[in-house]
Structure 1
Amino acid sequence: VVADATWRAEGQPAQVLGAHGAAPWGDVAFPSHIIAPAQYLRKEFSVTKSVRRATVYATARGILDVHLNGKRVSDDLFAPGWTNYHKRIQYYAWDVTNQLREDGNAIGAVLGQGWYAGYVAWGRQREHYGQTPEALVQLEIEFTDGTRQVVATDGSWRVGTGAILDEHFLHGEVYDARLAPTGWDEPGFAESWQPVGLGKKGDEILEAFIGNPVREYEELKPKSIQRLANGNYLIDFGQNLSGFVRLNVQEPRGTEIKIRHAERLDANGNLYTTNLRLAKAEDTYIAAGTGAETWNPRFTFHGFQYVEVSGLSKAPSADTMRAVAISSATPEVGTLETGNAMLNQLVSNAWWTQKMNFIDVPTDCPQRDERLGWTGDAQAYIRTAASYSDVQAFFTKWLVSLDDDQREDGQYPKVAPVLKGLDDGGPAWSEAGVICPMTIYEVYGDKELLRRHYPQMKRYVDFLVKRGKPDLLPPDNYHCYGDWLSINAETPHDVIYMAYFAGSAEMVARAAEVLGEAVDAAHYRDLHQRIRAAFQRAYVKPDGRVEGNTQCSYVLALVFDLLDGAARDQAAQHLVADIEARGGHLSTGFVGTRDLMHVLSKIGRDDVAYRLLLNDTFPSWGFTIKHGATSIWERWDGWTPERGFQDPGMNSFAHYAYGAVVGWMFQHVGGIRETSAGFGTVRIEPKWNKEVGHARTSFESVRGLIHTSWRAMGDRYQLTVVIPPNVRAEVVMPDGKTYEVGSGTWTYTCPLPQ
């Protein structure tokens, strides 16, 4: 908040002495970030019998790499992941049978701050859970004679420092290869390290990791390498990604190589880093001078497409550095390819943005000083995420954190794991606690997950009832982000509140029916009807106009089925009229965009949906692609030719919320929609469009592969469908004919739609 002429002093206008940052005061001074070397822990032990099986269990208040006899035991990154460490810590388990040796062995761990003690969120915030990282490691060895040996962290372990001089998710890693303690994780290491300090056992729950570990998944070569006027090198990897650079260099001892990261370039062709806010996003490698050296950081990651490298003694080649993309390892299950290059790029952009932000928890962005598990973003995108990859385990883990951080009164937080001051989610954010479990049930048929979260889902809806007015309308004061980052369209917060209130009540009623809770089901069905009636009385005009008269207002009223009869038809007409009045453009933000295309299909206006999809003028998905986007932008106007970059305080180029459109594409371009939980029954109904040309779509459901392929053959339309065993499909052709089929491969034709 900057003091300006709008401020008052004792009722008098304020006098402006200078712009923000002007002398003699300057900008607010934040303290330089705290240097945090990683800790190296080790212990030697002997094995004197034949080993049948050996497993190492490890966790930390922080993040760790476990080593055994000179090698890491796993390629997993950032174990044990992010939870509310005050309530729950998960542990990893790795099979290390083949790494054990007869007689002398050494086990060790490199321990970093991670989310526990490091910088997380904005404004130099750190130590959200504690000041000092701690490790808990237990190696269990089972011998062939049936006896066992346990090697666990205790006072006999030793601790020292090594090459990692500084490590932060936001700021990067500093690695001095001259200080690498060679052989530290091998037996016989001659060390002068100190005894470890022993921490205290807490009250938090300790349980096995249930998500998808973060791993490397792709290595990208430079697309271009350019020497800058300052002697540094600018490298474009051609794709926005989350991860780090892997160096392959041969430099003199003490050479300091710095790597700065950015998503975009400014007007002068330099790294655009203003939108990183206080995140330094810089890695440093100091060469040992021992010949060829290969290195990449282990305790940081960045969101970037471009890097600027300084300190190299000679020009880099494509082999000098590679971009290593990382993500939680959710198995890919869905593909969609069309005859339209722009749409194929859109599918790629959303997929990359999903991978960039699935780093143990579903985050908003991977580059700036934030990177939090925002609930509103997650609920807006979860169904699309499930079209690309198997996210059942990923969201199962995150939903445990969401329940852990639900307030006593029933409110869900803005982010999970929660941070101080972010426990009041507000409409369309808090509903992640209801929408996400229901979505996992619908896609995977996971009734047990629904059962686990059902009491919390009920508690949230009951909270809304208690907090609201007797007529179920919203309270006078509550937090709401609105239709976040919409374009010239302010949707009333009360409309968003009531629409999501109604939707939550209806979903809890459905969950109750699935779980056999008949009394609850009747109660929440009745509540849903009363909320609908209250919505209609308060916000719907006789001509079907919904309060606010925005695209988002109509989308919410229609997607949550809050209107009846003529009002429903009129609202649909008002929605289309607003799109047409904007020249065939959308105005929706995070909240409205999630369901905009689905609503247009629901009201029979696939033609309007395709117009929005294929548009390449501002604001649209195509506009960002036309201007070089390889990921989904946070804002429709993150960059425009007229004004350049938007406000750097909120201008990520890797936010998946607007990528929710690809979920619609899987269902309406690809034509694959579940009509019962777990895809036991499906509706196959691709929507023909001449500019799309053709489409091939595959989805590996929990019951098997579902595939569609459609194209034009002269004046005929041809659709081929593959249905797995134990699935029934209704196939709907453009001429209106329907076919009921079971497993097998089916091909149908009809006259080409006009």
Structure 2
Amino acid sequence: MTIIDARMIAPQHPTESAPLLRREFALDAGHGFVERATLRTSALGLVEAWVNGIPSSDELLAPGWTSYEWRVRLVEHDVTDAVAERTVIALRLGNGWYRGWLGFTGERAVYGDERAGYAELEITFADGHVQIVVTDDSWRASTGEVLADDLYNGQTIDARLRGTGWQHPDFDDSTWDAVRAVELDAGRLAPNVAPPVRRLGEFAVQKHWTSPSGKTLVDFGQNLVGFVRVHVAGPAGTEVVLRHAEVLEHDELGTRPLRRAEATDRLILSGGDDVFEPTLTFHGFRYAEVTGWPGEFDPSALAAVVVGSEIRTIGSFECSNPELNQLHSNVLWGMRGNFLSVPTDCPQRDERLGWTGDLAVFAPTAAFLGDVESFLADWLVDVELERRASPTGAVSVVVPDALKYLDTGFPTPGATAVWGDAAVWVPWALWTAYGNEQTLRDAYPLMSAHTRSVAGALSPSGLWDTGFQFGDWLDPDAPADDPGKSKAPSGVVATACAFRTASLMVQTAELLGEQADATEFAVLRDRVGGAFREHYVHDGLVESDSATAYALAIVFGLLDDADRQKAGDRLAELVRAAGHRISTGFAGTPFVNDALATTGHLDDAYALLLQRDAPSWLYAVTMGATTIWERWDSMLPDGSINPGEMTSFNHYAFGAVADWMHRSVAGIAPLEAGYRRILVAPQPGGGLTWAQANLDTPHGLAAVRWDIEGAELRVEVTVPEGSEAVLRLPGRDDETVAPGIHVRTLAINPDGESLV
């Protein structure tokens, strides 16, 4: 694709209302019919486009959020059917991430002060002639019905100002404003390869009622991300206001966790039959408060529209325990809500940033649930761009890195464990899931740069015990106002993560033929591993004697066989002493079940998974959650919201346990990248009588289902063409099977817990 002209345009006299831009022109004559017409658009902000009144696409929030300093997406659509002898290109611009409020410090327009739009319509005629119309000073500008728009605060639409005539030929725009060019380096416009943001579904109102304070509240039944479409008629000038929130507190809308985000849409009626869709914003919500409704409230006039990046669901899990099924659903909905243009930590409050640590631990789960390769590979481009520009040369803790513009009061950190490790862990998860070597190769400069920054951050002892670290963030025993104060020392966590990163880089470098790097990273791995064992391991006990320390040491392979078993036994003792309640944070939680199960404590892993008292995964389920929470007790047992300032009800990081559910409960995992070889190793337990998982691998459908009936375990496996599977069933030797459907039966003990 050749970019003809990189000039963006903006109104000569901008206002807070969303700008409208239009250009009318005639097709070049004498060249026959139009064979193809392609519209390419972009914006500093958001852009919605029409050609002769026909939307150029059904995408939303385009061109999305990237590291705007170096890369602004250029989206392309076929509009052949829309062009005519006289044609109008029409654009509406929104603030989006570029100019709206951003981050948690109360600042806006951190990237730039004005919105600007770009359009390039390329028309190819039957005789090969090409006509190109681009944004230039011949365009005209005005404003319409969108009086205000912001991702955090919401959108104000005045239907009295609505009209579509400006999108069509022969509209009189003589009173419209002139435009001016906004210079943009052509090299910043990058063809879009990420999945678009679209409407993904709808929910009707499940319940509506009047709150104790007299407010009309509605419940859509699912914590989701998007907006409410409203169909309403009433007197002109009537203002209907919708406030959004994830939860209720004291039977009122629970808005305190939103902090500065107003999450409020204001809809001003035209006097006719109005339909409102606030498409220049999004909210994280399950509930809405409706005020100003004309006449008797009609709940059927509202629909919650789910919005997110269009990621195909490829994996599923189900079992005999309904609460585990709800937990898995919560994980999926947490991912769906936070995978919107970039992978964010939360979608509702004044933050919504691409925190790298959340994704580092969640990437394997994400890669099973959906086809996230292009989505995350595109994000990794920005990770590397931000790293190169960072004054420390380290991976940013959020990407795109808006924090560098915010007055956070904290210096830019150097290399960080888990958060920075996303540079290695995420590409490796993509390689493992999809087997696309090019994705790994594209990320290799980032991966190797991060690993070297870790090497440079080590102390002379070989430990990573210097510099800022998040550590085992949100350890449930940490004070509400100090979420980084965990039982596991940050040096233990960071050093273990450094070992894992170096180990993965040895494999990556060998795979890509970078033998000198493989040798370098092997030396680093061995140095860090030796230092960890020397300073942190004492006769199988790991420094701090915490569940996270044991989980990381066991799963990352830091211990010899004797110490590994002792560590596993000690971990099981700690888990039992905690009443099988969670005692780990961001770093340890994804790995604790594996650490238990692989050291002979499967029953404890299941007891941890199935615990219903806080802190636990199922506590939120018992409290009615439909997404994963940020804190184990984001809502307290009495129904009040956790008093901490940092409380989200849609935060997918702790949902990383679904990866263990896929691999160990159902029993499907990759033995080779892209599931060319599949490990089928179900580990029944926890009183479950059946479990199943399906996965659309690069080779086709892989599936596992097991059932316990009486004293018999039945396992059915589907192996796709081009793959083979290794069946690792209890009490039997490994068996390799070819593509097709295979059924095996085993005898089990009468209690259904232990297998013979």
TM-score range, shorter-chain basis? over 0.9
Which residue number in structure 1 is paired with residue 224 of structure 2? 241
C-alpha distance after superposition, 1:619-672 (max 9, x if no partner): 111111111111100000112225832134100000000111111111112211
- Equivalent of residue 42 in structure 1, options 22, 40, 60: 22
Asked if 2 retains the 8 angstrom alpha-carbon contact of 1:212 and 1:393, the reply is yes
SS of the equivalent of 1:244 reads strand
Query: How far 1:203 moved relative to its partner?
Result: 6.8
Which residue number in structure 1 is paired with residue 5 of structure 2? none
- Equivalent of residue 286 in structure 2, options 286, 296, 305: 305
Which residue number in structure 2 is paired with residue 341 of structure 1? 322
The answer to whether 1:397 aligns with 2:386 is no
C-alpha distance after superposition, 1:109-137 (max 9, x if no partner): 10111111111111221112111111111
Query: Which amino acid letter does the alignment assign opposite residue 17 of structure 2?
Result: P
Q: Distance in 2 between matches of 1:364 and 1:345?
A: 21
Which residue number in structure 2 is paired with residue 561 of structure 1? 557
Query: How far 1:343 moved relative to its partner?
Result: 0.7
Alignment of 1:587-736 (within 5 A): 587-641=583-637, 644-689=640-685, 691-736=687-732
Query: How far 1:605 moved relative to its partner?
Result: 2.1
SS of the equivalent of 1:570 reads helix
Asked if 2 retains the 8 angstrom alpha-carbon contact of 1:670 and 1:695, the reply is yes
Alignment of 1:175-324 (within 5 A): 175-191=157-173, 192-202=175-185, 204-228=187-211, 231-267=214-250, 269-290=251-272, 292-324=273-305
| Cα pair distance change 1:643/1:578, threshold 3 Å | farther
Asked if 2 retains the 8 angstrom alpha-carbon contact of 1:118 and 1:169, the reply is yes
Q: Which is further off, 125-134 or 643-652? A: 643-652
Q: Distance in 1 between matches of 2:225 and 2:694?
A: 26
- Equivalent of residue 492 in structure 2, options 479, 491, 495: 495
Which residue number in structure 1 is paired with residue 459 of structure 2? 469
Query: How far 1:231 moved relative to its partner?
Result: 4.9
- Equivalent of residue 521 in structure 2, options 502, 521, 524: 524
Asked if 2 retains the 8 angstrom alpha-carbon contact of 1:86 and 1:204, the reply is no
The answer to whether 1:65 aligns with 2:54 is no
- What is the percentage of aligned positions where both structures have the same residue? 37
Asked if 1 retains the 8 angstrom alpha-carbon contact of 2:550 and 2:568, the reply is yes
C-alpha distance after superposition, 1:429-484 (max 9, x if no partner): 000011111111111112112112212222222222223223322354x1111211
SS of the equivalent of 2:81 reads helix
Q: Distance in 1 between matches of 2:643 and 2:533?
A: 37
Q: Distance in 2 between matches of 1:473 and 1:738?
A: 39
| Cα pair distance change 1:73/1:643, threshold 3 Å | closer
Q: Distance in 2 between matches of 1:203 and 1:473?
A: 45
SS of the equivalent of 1:45 reads strand
Query: How far 1:217 moved relative to its partner?
Result: 0.7
C-alpha distance after superposition, 1:398-443 (max 9, x if no partner): 1001011113653101100012448536221000011111111111
Query: Which amino acid letter does the alignment assign opposite residue 486 of structure 1?
Result: D
Q: Distance in 2 between matches of 1:505 and 1:266?
A: 46
Which residue number in structure 1 is paired with residue 309 of structure 2? 328
SS of the equivalent of 1:210 reads coil
Q: Distance in 2 between matches of 1:315 and 1:462?
A: 65
Which residue number in structure 2 is paired with residue 94 of structure 1? 77
Q: Distance in 2 between matches of 1:91 and 1:585?
A: 48
The answer to whether 1:120 aligns with 2:102 is yes
SS of the equivalent of 2:509 reads helix
Q: Which is further off, 374-383 or 595-604? A: 595-604
| Cα pair distance change 1:96/1:223, threshold 3 Å | same
Query: Which amino acid letter does the alignment assign opposite residue 530 of structure 2?
Result: A
C-alpha distance after superposition, 1:718-754 (max 9, x if no partner): 1111101110101122333432101001111111344
Asked if 1 retains the 8 angstrom alpha-carbon contact of 2:53 and 2:164, the reply is no
Asked if 2 retains the 8 angstrom alpha-carbon contact of 1:483 and 1:588, the reply is yes
C-alpha distance after superposition, 1:186-213 (max 9, x if no partner): 1111232111111112375321111111
Asked if 1 retains the 8 angstrom alpha-carbon contact of 2:476 and 2:585, the reply is yes
Q: Which is further off, 644-653 or 369-378? A: 644-653
- Equivalent of residue 545 in structure 2, options 541, 544, 549: 549
- Equivalent of residue 140 in structure 1, options 122, 134, 139: 122
Query: How far 1:298 moved relative to its partner?
Result: 1.0
Q: Distance in 2 between matches of 1:471 and 1:340?
A: 48
Q: Distance in 1 between matches of 2:687 and 2:561?
A: 34
Q: Distance in 2 between matches of 1:222 and 1:517?
A: 56
- Equivalent of residue 173 in structure 1, options 155, 160, 172: 155
Q: Which is further off, 744-753 or 353-362? A: 744-753
SS of the equivalent of 1:434 reads helix
C-alpha distance after superposition, 1:97-156 (max 9, x if no partner): 11112x111111101111111111112211121111111110001111110111110000
Q: Distance in 2 between matches of 1:347 and 1:83?
A: 30
The answer to whether 1:452 aligns with 2:434 is no
C-alpha distance after superposition, 1:44-80 (max 9, x if no partner): 1122441111110111111111111112111111111
Q: Distance in 2 between matches of 1:210 and 1:604?
A: 45
Asked if 2 retains the 8 angstrom alpha-carbon contact of 1:87 and 1:203, the reply is no
Asked if 2 retains the 8 angstrom alpha-carbon contact of 1:68 and 1:105, the reply is yes
- Equivalent of residue 473 in structure 2, options 484, 487, 493: 484
C-alpha distance after superposition, 1:327-376 (max 9, x if no partner): 11010101111111101100110100100100110000000000000000
Asked if 2 retains the 8 angstrom alpha-carbon contact of 1:414 and 1:423, the reply is no
Q: Distance in 2 between matches of 1:743 and 1:643?
A: 51
How many positions carry a matched residue from both structures? 716
Asked if 1 retains the 8 angstrom alpha-carbon contact of 2:229 and 2:276, the reply is yes
Using structure 1 for the length normalisation, give the TM-score: 0.93
Q: CA RMSD in A?
A: 1.6
Asked if 1 retains the 8 angstrom alpha-carbon contact of 2:332 and 2:369, the reply is yes
Q: Distance in 2 between matches of 1:684 and 1:695?
A: 13
Query: How far 1:35 moved relative to its partner?
Result: 8.2
Q: Distance in 2 between matches of 1:503 and 1:203?
A: 40
Which residue number in structure 2 is paired with residue 579 of structure 1? 575
Which residue number in structure 2 is paired with residue 4 of structure 1? none
SS of the equivalent of 2:584 reads coil
Asked if 1 retains the 8 angstrom alpha-carbon contact of 2:140 and 2:178, the reply is yes
Q: Distance in 1 between matches of 2:98 and 2:138?
A: 25
Which residue number in structure 2 is paired with residue 372 of structure 1? 353
Query: Which amino acid letter does the alignment assign opposite residue 346 of structure 1?
Result: L
Q: Distance in 2 between matches of 1:211 and 1:374?
A: 18
Unaligned segments of structure 1, at least 5 residues: 1-33
Q: Distance in 1 between matches of 2:298 and 2:152?
A: 28
Q: Distance in 2 between matches of 1:534 and 1:306?
A: 51
Q: Distance in 2 between matches of 1:482 and 1:61?
A: 36
Asked if 1 retains the 8 angstrom alpha-carbon contact of 2:714 and 2:744, the reply is yes
Asked if 2 retains the 8 angstrom alpha-carbon contact of 1:261 and 1:307, the reply is yes
Q: Distance in 2 between matches of 1:61 and 1:139?
A: 18
| Cα pair distance change 1:616/1:35, threshold 3 Å | farther
Q: Distance in 2 between matches of 1:193 and 1:645?
A: 50
Q: Distance in 2 between matches of 1:373 and 1:523?
A: 31
Query: Which amino acid letter does the alignment assign opposite residue 63 of structure 1?
Result: L
